[in-house]
Structure 1
């Protein structure tokens, strides 16, 4: 029987959990809340049922669905979808349009299936329903669905720009919520555990706040290139005038060891407490971050939005400040360093992200992994951000492609060039020795499907993806290709390197020293000539921050000696424990330097190396077998390796499904004391779970540990 009154929507059933299972979003906590939030992936069908106040009559009732994104939704801009329900059973063939089809009509219930466009903007959509009678001139009834609908990128769907063909890899690069970030200098880099926590209830709302605080247009929110570029900008709070708390960026970066008004970067266990604080304060930046913390947060945001992401660590990383594709060190005529001549630096390591996407804006072959860096180093189009830069373009030295390929070529493959003041030279300097193999010693990421809480079996070397093997013709040709297309670099590389030098110098690398042990700075010198050579040498050691900034001089020695023809000699500078222990700064990284000049030939040589003083690990023990919903206890312990008291001691531990981040303030620790602390938690999720812990104090920081535990269901408890 026909009705003269338009339908009134009583209820909309979104089948949040059922749709989430099909859309690979079932891990989000928002799906499992008392009032679940729909979380869907674009370009993929989802089901819903509309319940009306009376039977739906297909011949007379008009039901129109309206999906709106942003403040000024517009169909032509892709931010508004309008569909009238008809009896057609097929979707439109156009994947860039909203489509709907009827699944079932049962009295007052209308079950339908909806498909969003494959290029839909990512974020929160609003859903309304208009109902009217065919031929009626009355305004339609309007029903406003009272929940936000999250629409995410869809790397499982071939037509999405972020599609990843190997579906198993998506388990690692989108779904895995605990990973590792490699930190530390060459020879002692270790995998530091990081909780991405992308499914936490605070993460997607924090992402939306970040976008709202940014200047990205709603129409650009479906473009993974623009989204990644925005994330790179917004994860830090920096502009040309320095760090600004009012910039709306997520993290405030600091590298000087002074974190009294915030959290030391080494104390974070993961991204969730950072994003929770950002959300709770409506966008106030969180103190403090460093490169690996920025990368951890970028990884969380990208995985939450559906952008396949991995964290990449570059061991020995160049920061080229003048687009010369070289790291330049300047010395006066007496071989004293002239630091004001160059602002280039070499970081012991630097961490960024690779994000997977197609690049329709670039020639074929440059899609796939794209480097995105959230650490503010240099401006890109007037803003501190970096990428997305095609990793293949970096490897090929294709510096003409967007975005920031030149900077990243330098980051992984710059030459180190040393210059000595020379008033007889038109340039004012003579080029002395350099190093073509120092930068980009190794690029590391976590291997898929493996997690090694006690070692580095889960390490994957991806250096070959960023550059050809060092010293090969392919590697040199790639760098020179980039130089040829970079005007500033051409001027630096046009100066020839010195030739026919008859003394060979070699600074012995130090990989690691356990805290409390002495070490030597050692240089081997070989005189290949048949004549005496007079050598003046300077050796020194000092502590540095991981970004290469000098902290404290530990010990220095210099002298002049004569070498016999065709002999090899060794210079040593011995460093005792008492020399360096009080001079260490955070992460306990040391730099050793050596400089030498040959009186007879004016040959000049300089080299440097970094290594880390190794700290203890936190041992994590769980009492008995943890069971979902029941109290359990975790014990954290380590030995203080220092013969000094530790003050302002703080433990942090967390684990998805086990415990939110817990901060525990601890008493002062005695010299050489074994520290033990116990804390209760109630696990919420069964299966293999990971717990990550950190310890910081004034005198000792960056002490970490992790463990993998099996959480049982209550009915699995062993009798």
Structure 2
């Protein structure tokens, strides 16, 4: 048994302790009901009474919490002394120097708690044998589980009694504390980025954005313990550094993926998801983290939005403000050149075997909020971290924290991985035509506007999109934007000299486009407009149109349809070249996220001019509609109805609804035998909201014919009359007030 060096040894003879009248601890109350609201931790599973599970206190560092001690006799401020010893659990060698072993002497008055960067304890009130004590963890305390020992002693004697609290309590980051490195001043932002347990993730493509709801579930069973496990055991953050959000967030960006360390989620970008769950079928983080905590093996399977959703859950659980960010047309620059090079053949087909870079329809990462004393005050605030295993950073698959401010300024050498983030939102897209080995490449097109569109996150307090593009980059084509790119290229030591070999030709104008808002099941058309602007000369144009399925990572899959053309365009005239694609032509080849790549390659005969264009789009899937039969009230059962209309010209068979929400411990599953063509199906279930306040229900539908369909309902739960007013003893004020209960998402 290891001895705690700060705990005094008891006197040898207990009879002597009694004769000396050394005070003893009869009971120790952590005042969970009072501390929970003050520390914004009342919704955590472990803070509630659950049959078969121990209730534990969760507090935030830099802020006092209350305990009540029942003593063997009244405490005398002049004769008795009491010392607390706090030890970080699972630290093999706790030490005062590392801040993992802390002793503090009980002070006589609450104003004597001391400096915020030190642990403190002080008497608040004494009433007979009952003493109320305030304890304030240091604002720099390591986050994790702590034990507590108490030594009591009579002044000027050797008599000592020891009391060891038989359980533990948790200390988290405190973004409400001005002295904490993760401090955030805006209360509405704190509600959104720390307390909200449901959020939106944007997917789709830049021309058809698709919000999906993600149940973060940071308050649910085992999520806190799993988050601490991933930080300490998988992320290997040493006990001494568990007070540092920079090191913790960097470690978590690796711990959430599996390649280096058997982290939480196994990535899979193939079409085979056997032996696990397809990424599009996850509704939230809870099932993933609970499975990982139980089995200690990577959960199958994830893609970028799954990694991001899980990482957001962990960050908010630990108390670090976090949000999910989607970047449309996101570059994956493997060479660090700040360009993405695409090679195509004479027909305009992408040569996958030559392309090491890629452009994802969208990519999802995280931002976490903190000061950055390591690189300078101006680079604090939002920091980008990315747990999708794309490229190695310091020999591990991790990314960040990269200061978003540094990315915007082109400061790509600032730690960590600002260069990679900069490329994702700013790289130039360059298309080359390949004609064979040892033959020169022909530069077809350089696109400085094609990367980094509509960078999106959920709005504060609203179920809508917040465009944060201007926090990552200056306006395209602006002087600041090009100056920043020049600075980044110089720092990257990259040579950017491209020869423009395509002929400068303006007589013929091309406009390549696709009709907007295509619903799955419908026919769509690809159109190339060719305009001859010459007053005298006719031109012949020859080329091809292509439609291919594509993964959201930009990787080409199957050709759906192509067509060739050879047309003569008279002077001052316009020709429309169209290709129709029917549902039955694209349906069997459609990938799970319903994305396509369209492209065209055109040559103007008797010139050296070639026109190439490409774009990505997706067909829109239906939404699930969720409604209540009545007004939701806390602790009262209500019927919930989910509905879905079949948009396909074929029946849907063997469908499944999955639902999650506050108080639903395991997913509600409802089977649907068949949905005829054009029909609407519905299912009803009983639901009891556990608390009043804001909340959201999340639904997903899957079947063989149609998957990755979801929907959500954000709602307000009314409190019961008996819940509207409850007593609350203010910890630092000593007075009683009446407050309204709002327990779902404070």
Q: Which residue of 2 aligns with 1:52?
A: 71
Q: Deviations over 1:222-278 (max 9, x none)?
A: 111111112211112124xxxxxxx43111222334334222222222222222222
Q: Within the alignment, does 1:30 sit opposite 2:50 as a pair?
A: no
Q: Which residue of 2 aligns with 1:435?
A: 447
Q: Which residue of 1 aligns with 2:217?
A: 197
Q: Which residue of 2 aligns with 1:181?
A: 201
**Displacement of 1:358 after TM fit?**
0.8
**CA distance change for structure 1 residues 38 and 709 in 2, over 3 Å: closer, same or farther?**
same
Q: Which residue of 2 aligns with 1:40?
A: 59
Gaps of 5+ in 2: 1-16, 724-746
Q: Within the alignment, does 1:501 sit opposite 2:505 as a pair?
A: yes
Q: Which residue of 1 aligns with 2:4?
A: none
Q: Helix, strand or coil: the match of 1:27?
A: coil
Contact 1:278–1:284 under 8 Å retained in 2: yes
TM-score by length of 2: 0.88
Contact 1:541–1:554 under 8 Å retained in 2: yes
* Segment drifting more, 149-158 vs 559-568: 559-568
Q: Deviations over 1:56-95 (max 9, x none)?
A: 3445544221111141211111111111224465446543
* Segment drifting more, 478-487 vs 98-107: 98-107
Q: Within the alignment, does 1:306 sit opposite 2:319 as a pair?
A: yes
Q: Helix, strand or coil: the match of 1:11?
A: strand
Q: Within the alignment, does 1:635 sit opposite 2:651 as a pair?
A: no
**Displacement of 1:409 after TM fit?**
1.0
**CA distance change for structure 1 residues 658 and 541 in 2, over 3 Å: closer, same or farther?**
same
Contact 1:524–1:568 under 8 Å retained in 2: yes
Q: Within the alignment, does 1:12 sit opposite 2:28 as a pair?
A: yes
Q: Which residue of 2 aligns with 1:150?
A: 170
Q: Within the alignment, does 1:520 sit opposite 2:525 as a pair?
A: yes
Q: Deviations over 1:410-446 (max 9, x none)?
A: 1111111012337899x94232212111111211111
Q: Deviations over 1:540-591 (max 9, x none)?
A: 0011122212222110122444444555433222212221122211121111
Q: Deviations over 1:448-494 (max 9, x none)?
A: 1113xxxxxx211111111111121211221221111113xx23445
Take 2:351 and 2:561, find their aligned partners in 1: how far apart are those partners? 19
Matches within 5 A, 1:302-381: 302-332=315-345, 336-381=349-394
Gaps of 5+ in 1: 240-246, 452-457
**CA distance change for structure 1 residues 184 and 57 in 2, over 3 Å: closer, same or farther?**
same
Take 2:622 and 2:377, find their aligned partners in 1: how far apart are those partners? 48
**CA distance change for structure 1 residues 109 and 713 in 2, over 3 Å: closer, same or farther?**
closer
Task: Report the RMSD for the aligned CA atoms in angstroms.
Answer: 2.7
Q: Which residue of 2 aligns with 1:67?
A: 86
Take 2:696 and 2:348, find their aligned partners in 1: how far apart are those partners? 52
Q: Within the alignment, does 1:96 sit opposite 2:121 as a pair?
A: no
Take 2:116 and 2:634, find their aligned partners in 1: how far apart are those partners? 43
**Displacement of 1:42 after TM fit?**
0.6
Q: Helix, strand or coil: the match of 1:127?
A: strand
- Say which of 192, 196, 214 aligns to 1:172: 192
Q: Helix, strand or coil: the match of 2:263?
A: coil
**Displacement of 1:133 after TM fit?**
4.4
**Displacement of 1:672 after TM fit?**
4.2
Matches within 5 A, 1:116-127: 116-127=137-148
Q: Deviations over 1:364-414 (max 9, x none)?
A: 311111111121111111111111111111111110101111111111111
**Displacement of 1:533 after TM fit?**
4.4
Take 1:10 and 1:654, find their aligned partners in 2: how far apart are those partners? 43
Q: Within the alignment, does 1:251 sit opposite 2:265 as a pair?
A: yes
**Displacement of 1:23 after TM fit?**
1.7
**Displacement of 1:531 after TM fit?**
5.0
Contact 2:347–2:544 under 8 Å retained in 1: no
Q: Which residue of 2 aligns with 1:569?
A: 575
Take 2:654 and 2:584, find their aligned partners in 1: how far apart are those partners? 23
Q: Within the alignment, does 1:540 sit opposite 2:546 as a pair?
A: yes
Q: Which residue of 2 aligns with 1:455?
A: none
Contact 1:534–1:562 under 8 Å retained in 2: yes
Contact 2:230–2:255 under 8 Å retained in 1: yes
Take 1:230 and 1:215, find their aligned partners in 2: how far apart are those partners? 7
Take 2:722 and 2:149, find their aligned partners in 1: how far apart are those partners? 46
